[in-house]
Amino acid sequence: MSYYLKLEVKEFEKRIRELERILGRKTLENEILKEAVRIGWKNNWSHGSHFKSLKI
């Protein structure tokens, strides 16, 4: 494999690692937000606030 191909492969591997890191962060963020919504719905439901028109 030529030097330039090796360099390009290393750049692609670096980019893949960065995208995987971002995906992991966004996945965690999504889970946190889903839990916050679940807690919010639970609290609103128990306090008599029913948002029937909202869909999640």
- Condensed to tens digits (0 to 9), the pLDDT of residues 38-51 reads 998 888 776 665 55
pLDDT grade for 37, boundaries at 50, 70 and 90: very high
pLDDT at 54 over 60: no
Predicted pLDDT of residue 45: 74
CA atoms within 13 A on the CB side of 7: 3
Query: In this structure, how many other beta carbons lie within 10 angstroms of the beta carbon of residue 53?
Result: 5
DSSP codes of every residue in 4-45? HHHHHHHHHHHHHHHHHHHHHHHHHHHHHHHHHHHHHHHHHH
pLDDT averaged over every residue in the chain = 87
